[in-house]
Amino acid sequence: MHNGLVPARLLLIVSLVVAAGACASPSSNAPYKAEDLGTGKPVSTVDLRGHPVLLVSWATWCKECKTELPALEHYFEAHTSGPLRIVLVNVNSSDSRKEIDDIVTRYHLSMTQWRDRDNDFETRFGTVGVPTAVLLDRAGKVVKTWPGAINPNGTELAGALRGT
């Protein structure tokens, strides 16, 4: 008997369902917003429409990211004339600008770089953890998501790009 009160567990479940419904669906093409790492100005995936986009989340404390970032840079340098845009999204919540800059310098990262201190990346794309790569088609719709480090030279990315 609950004395007319709704059980706390049911309230929690309802709250989670409502919260999930308020988030953009990972399959939608709602814009993702962050800030440019260099300028601090607002940026959005809307600015990249017309091109397939690979968004890759990373953090300074992520060991797997330190393997993935140089591989992505090599891929980027070899494919600069192609239609794919690669955007590195740093999701460090703390003010770790020096550590971020050190990694950017160490790996000579020249790809577009965004900062998402609130990790809206996780909420917007339904991901957990870093690194995670999300491929958007030319309209900004999610085509594929890869949890963990992506092999940019692998067959999965090449196959997914054919559909963009």
**Would you call the peptide bond into 70 cis, given omega within 30 degrees of 0 as the criterion?**
no
Which H or E run contains 68? Answer: helix 65-78
Name the residue with higher pLDDT: 26 or 64. 64
DSSP string over 78-133 = HTTTSS-EEEEEE---S--HHHHHHHHHHTT--SEEEE-TT-HHHHHHT--SSSEE
d(CA 140, CA 46): 7
Over the stretch 111-150, which tens digit does the pLDDT of each residue have?
999 999 999 999 999 999 999 999 999 999 999 999 999 9
> What is the band of 72 on the pLDDT scale with cuts at 50, 70, 90?
very high
Q: How confident is the model at residue 163 (pLDDT cuts 50, 70, 90)?
A: confident
- Is CATH 3.40.30.10 the classification given to domain 28-162? yes
pLDDT of res. 20: 41
- CB contact at 8 A, 32 and 55: yes
Whole-model pTM?
0.82
Q: Is 130 exposed, middle or buried (0-12, 13-18, 19+ CB in 10 A)?
A: buried
Whether pLDDT at 7 is above 90:
no
Cβ-contact 85, 48 below 8 angstroms: yes
Binning pLDDT at 50, 70 and 90, where does residue 26 land?
low
User: What are the phi and psi torsion angles at 7 (to 5°)?
Assistant: -60, 145
CA distance 28 to 48: 16
pLDDT digits (tens, 9 = 90+) for 32-61: 999 999 999 999 999 999 999 999 999 999
> What residue ranges do the domains of the chain occupy?
28-162
The Cα 16–Cα 146 span in angstroms is: 24
pLDDT of 18 > 50? The answer is no
On the CB side of 107, how many CA atoms lie within 13 Å of its CA?
Answer: 23
Looking only at the bridges linking them, the beta strands covering 53-58 and 42-44 are unpaired
